[in-house]
Amino acid sequence: MFSTVPINSSRYSPVLRNSTRSNSVEPSCGKRPSTKSTTSSQLEEVSVLTSPPTAGPSVPLKHPSSEAIATVQCNQVLDFIVRKNREKYSTVFSRVTPRQYNSILHASEKLAGKPRLAYDFETLRLEVDMPSCVHDSATNVIRRGLESVDKMLHDLIAARLIHSEIHPSLTLNTGKKEFVPDCVHVITARCKPPVVKILSIVEVAFSQSEAALLDRFRNAIKFKHHQILSRAGDDLNARNQRDPSLPPHHSALAFLSLRDEPQSFDEPTPVIVEGHSWCTITDIQVQVWVRGRRGAINIDTKDSRLTARGSLFPVYNEAAMKDVTLMVMKGLELTRDCFVEQCRLADRDASVSNLRSAQLPLPFKWEDIVDGLTYATQATAHARYLTWYHNILEEQSEEYVEVTGKRTADEAEIDTPDDGRLVRPRIGMKTRAAARSASYG
């Protein structure tokens, strides 16, 4: 599921915690691929430990220090964030204190794959969403559109009256809650003091339920002028009836030729190999809200003047998507008006006639979102297959060592050439497969 949110606020200065998010995909895997959906509605809430586990007979023990307990609690969250063999992209942790949340936030900013964190200071719940190829493909289309709108409006301003940025990751604080969207468009009037406004937020929620995503939007509703919400449901492995049974002699690239159904380059059709669903996107829905003349956005409104919803996949609803496009254009007009307002704050005598009369086109194509998700489906499925394939090789290697007494590949490579002949071909195959995976994307 993915979502995009263009919004605006009055005088709001967000917590600027910048970080550059990696576009790398962490493939999900296990010893056998999971057959469960990864939607947020099925996520089990993880309760963070309040004390380290103990075992053995009852003996007098010293009470662990608060720092030791905090370390155990933080490690549970960080273990999920840095996990390589990933079957879930999103999970919720409970009983996370603000101090622990800050430690996790600062630690995660140093990692290559930046997670999206959403923390509730009242309920002490922390939601962690990891980026994926699906996240990036949808976010990049909208981000490039925002960059084109930003440049077009800047070209109509004579002086350097405002400063705007499109942040790849920015922590927003609403007082009681804090969250990190995928992309934030911020504009600042160069006056004293500077006035910061949020023009747009891009959210991609591939593994979240729509209800969870809307709840996050409600938390930040006071910042919004307009909002775009798109949902791509991932029915990951839900239709799989059995584990894959690929013969052991197949190579890591056999996946590309063993597909059960014809491959489509036009839409994100399910990727099924040997009866196993490796990645499935069931639907892509788009909904847009705009702010009325008075008050904030109402997420629950049914007013057709303030919201529109359409479908991109599996059926393209042309009439509904036309209404969605018109609603997006209303949002772009609000963005333009915000540029005018910010220029006037910086200089009351600024000439903004050209800016005020600017006509903004739709900065992206809906087809590009579908095309990006089509590629993301193929890439995600292939990455999951490679991870499963290498796990099978590791299992076979461990069983071989257990039965024959031969050492592992790493041990054999160190100093024993005789045993090395048995394991080096396997290592070479694994290395070449990894190289092919990198070139695949």
Taking only the tens place, the pLDDT of each residue in 380-402 is 888 888 878 777 777 766 665 66
Establish if 55 belongs to a structural domain. Answer: no
| R_g over Cα of the chain | 25
Q: Mean pLDDT highest for which of 3-7, 206-210, 331-335, 383-387?
A: 331-335
Establish if 222 belongs to a structural domain. Answer: yes
pLDDT at 316 over 70: yes
Q: Encode 418-428: b = buried (16+ Cβ within 10 Å), e = exposed.
A: ebbeebeeebe
- Mean pLDDT within 99-120: 85
pLDDT at 240 over 70: no
pLDDT at 235 over 50: no
Taking only the tens place, the pLDDT of each residue in 120-139 is 999 999 999 888 888 888 88
- Mean pLDDT within 65-77: 69
Per-residue pLDDT, 112: 72
pLDDT at 326 over 50: yes
Per the structure, the count of domains in the chain is 2
Before 314, cis peptide (omega within 30)? yes
Distance in angstroms (rounded) separating the CA atoms of residues 255 and 238: 19
Distance in angstroms (rounded) separating the CA atoms of residues 85 and 386: 11
Establish if 100 belongs to a structural domain. Answer: no
Q: Which of 231, 233, 236, 234 is nearest to 214 (CA)?
A: 231
- Mean pLDDT within 154-175: 87
Q: Which of helix, strand or coil describes residue 351?
A: coil
Per-residue pLDDT, 64: 52
- Written as six digits, the tokens of 204 are 């991609």
Distance in angstroms (rounded) separating the CA atoms of residues 435 and 428: 11
Same domain, 282 and 408: no
- Mean pLDDT within 407-419: 45
Per-residue pLDDT, 170: 84
Establish if 400 belongs to a structural domain. Answer: yes
Q: Are 264 and 374 in contact (CB under 8 A)?
A: yes
Taking only the tens place, the pLDDT of each residue in 139-157 is 899 899 999 999 999 999 9
Same domain, 307 and 426: no
Distance in angstroms (rounded) separating the CA atoms of residues 385 and 30: 10
Distance in angstroms (rounded) separating the CA atoms of residues 279 and 270: 6
Higher-confidence position of 123 and 272? 123
Sheet holding 195-203, edge to edge: 162-167, 183-189, 195-203, 3-5, 226-234, 281-290, 307-313
Higher-confidence position of 277 and 17? 277
Before 268, cis peptide (omega within 30)? no
Same domain, 242 and 345: yes
Of 320, 352, 372, which residue constitutes the final position of a domain?
372
Q: Mean pLDDT highest for which of 61-70, 150-159, 252-261, 284-293?
A: 150-159
Of 345, 372, 399, which residue constitutes the final position of a domain?
372
Establish if 294 belongs to a structural domain. Answer: yes
pLDDT band at 74 (very low <50, low <70, confident <90, very high): confident
Q: Encode 376-396: b = buried (16+ Cβ within 10 Å), e = exposed.
A: bbbbbbbbbbbbbbbbbbeee
What is the domain range of residue 232? 3-14+132-372
Burial class of residue 98 in the structure, from the number of CB atoms within 10 Å of its CB (0-12 exposed, 13-18 middle, 19+ buried):
exposed
pLDDT band at 26 (very low <50, low <70, confident <90, very high): very low
pLDDT at 4 over 70: no
- Mean pLDDT within 178-206: 85
Same domain, 361 and 388: no
pLDDT at 10 over 50: no
Tell me the β-bridge partners of 91. Answer: 128
CB count, 10 Å around CB of 281? 27
Min mean pLDDT across 269-283, 382-396, 413-427 is at 413-427
Same domain, 305 and 419: no
pLDDT at 357 over 90: yes
Same domain, 358 and 435: no
Min mean pLDDT across 339-343, 357-361, 388-392, 399-403 is at 399-403
pLDDT at 32 over 50: no
Same domain, 292 and 401: no
Per-residue pLDDT, 241: 33
Establish if 22 belongs to a structural domain. Answer: no
Establish if 347 belongs to a structural domain. Answer: yes
pLDDT band at 67 (very low <50, low <70, confident <90, very high): low
- Mean pLDDT within 161-185: 85
Q: Please provide the DSSP assignment of 110-157 as one string.
A: TSSSPPEEEEETTTTEEEEE---HHHHHHHHHHHHHHHHHHHHHHTT-
pLDDT at 424 over 70: no
Establish if 77 belongs to a structural domain. Answer: no
DSSP count for the chain of H helices, then E strands: 9, 15
Of 312, 345, 372, which residue constitutes the final position of a domain?
372
Same domain, 327 and 412: no
Per-residue pLDDT, 436: 36
Higher-confidence position of 48 and 133? 133
